């Protein structure tokens, strides 16, 4: 029997086939899960729909996570079509481009709010609606973070602060939802070339830096994040909650 046979997963954050959320979707699909997808706007729908339909997905919905009414509609549809939900993948982040290149000290109030709303609060907004659908099903929620939450990574700036809030939210959500059997974890991925990464100034030098210094002496592949998501969202991770699991070739353990 496949690891996720009979499981239903909602995936938020596929922009294209380089998205981390897509690598996770491929891993889940290969292990028998049924998937639903959301996309953030019409332009993305053109890229997400063919990918989703290609792996047999029948639920493909718009969802800008800053809009409560769109979030509500997604979960109402999942309830109506599926009755319940086993897995939620949150792979969403956004900050203004200037906030990912100017000094952090220059972050505007509006830029700070935007990054926190899209990249951190959205997990809470999704989890609070997913939880009622996950009761009695050993639900699992997984989000994506980056070590710019723990250490200063030049140019990551306000996104590092948002990721710190996201990781703290993982712990508080794990505490709140644990009594219902729902687990909440984060994967802290090493740098990967995606659309979101393209917004970070000098991203290329991050890749070189990691490959030179990480214990494994290389960068990671998105499929390696997919495999870790599979562990966290399947029975293999049944006692793991509130964790931030690094998938970064070991880079985060280095002091010098």
Q: Which residues on adjacent β-strands are paired with residue 89? A: 11, 142
Pick one of 168, 195, 216, 254: the residue that binds ligand NAP (CB under 6 A): 195
Is residue 20 part of the contact set for ligand NAP (CB under 6 A)?
yes
Position 210 contacts ligand NAP (CB under 6 A): no
For residue 1, the minimal CB distance to ligand NAP (Å) is 30
According to CB under 6 A, which residues from 66 to 95 bind ligand NAP? 66, 91-94
Distance CA 53, CA 35 (A): 10
Residue 190 gets which letter from DSSP? P
Check binding of 197 to ligand NAP (CB under 6 A): yes
Choose between 50 and 178: whose C-beta lies nearer to ligand NAP.
50
* Alpha carbons 109 and 100: distance in angstroms, whole number: 14
Look-up of token digits 């917004």: 199
Q: Which of 39, 104, 156, 251 is catalytic?
A: 156
Pairing of strands 87-90, 8-12: parallel
Q: Which one from 39, 104, 146, 251 is the annotated catalytic residue?
A: 146
Number of residues that bind ligand NAP (CB under 6 A): 28
Examine the residue annotation and report whether 156 is marked as an active-site residue of this protein: yes
**Residue 132 near residue 76, CB atoms below 8 Å:** no
Site for ligand NAP in 102-141 (CB under 6 A): 118
Task: Please say whether the beta carbons of 159 and 206 come within 8 A.
Answer: no
Query: DSSP letters along 49-89, please?
Result: HHHHHHTT--EEEE--TT-HHHHHHHHHHHHHHHS--SEEE
144 contributes a contact to ligand NAP by CB under 6 A: yes
Is 28 in contact with 35 (CB distance < 8 Å)? yes
| Among 88, 100, 142, 189, contact with ligand NAP (rule: CB under 6 A) | 189
User: Which residues bind to ligand NAP, rule: CB under 6 A?
Assistant: 13-15, 19-21, 40-41, 44, 63-66, 91-94, 118, 144-146, 189, 191-192, 194-197
Point out the residues that are catalytic: 146, 156
């Amino acid at each position: 029997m496949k690891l996720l046979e009979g499981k239903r997963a909602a995936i938020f954050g596929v922009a294209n086939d380089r998205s981390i959320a897509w690598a996770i979707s491929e891993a889940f699909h290969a292990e028998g899960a049924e998937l639903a997808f959301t996309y953030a706007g019409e332009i993305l729908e053109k890229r997400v729909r063919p990918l989703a339909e290609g792996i047999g997905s029948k639920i493909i919905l718009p969802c800008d996570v800053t809009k409560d009414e769109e979030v509500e509609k997604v979960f109402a549809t999942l309830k109506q079509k599926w009755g319940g939900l086993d897995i939620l993948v949150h792979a969403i982040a956004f900050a203004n481009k200037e906030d990912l290149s100017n000094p952090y000290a220059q972050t505007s109030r509006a830029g700070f709010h935007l990054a926190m709303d899209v990249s951190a609060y959205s997990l809470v907004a999704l989890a609070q609606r997913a939880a009622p659908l996950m009761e009695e099903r050993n639900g699992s929620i997984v989000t994506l973070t980056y070590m710019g939450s723990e250490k200063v990574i030049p140019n990551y700036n306000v996104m590092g602060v948002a990721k710190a809030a996201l990781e703290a939210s993982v712990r508080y959500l794990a505490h709140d939802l644990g009594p219902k059997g729902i687990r909440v974890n984060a994967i802290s991925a090493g740098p990967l070339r995606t659309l979101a990464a393209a917004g970070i100034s000098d991203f290329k030098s991050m890749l070189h830096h990691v490959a030179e210094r990480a214990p494994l002496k290389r960068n990671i592949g998105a499929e390696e994040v997919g495999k870790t998501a599979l562990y966290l969202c399947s029975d293999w991770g049944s006692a793991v909650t509130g964790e931030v699991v690094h998938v970064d070739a070991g880079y985060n353990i280095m002091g010098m």
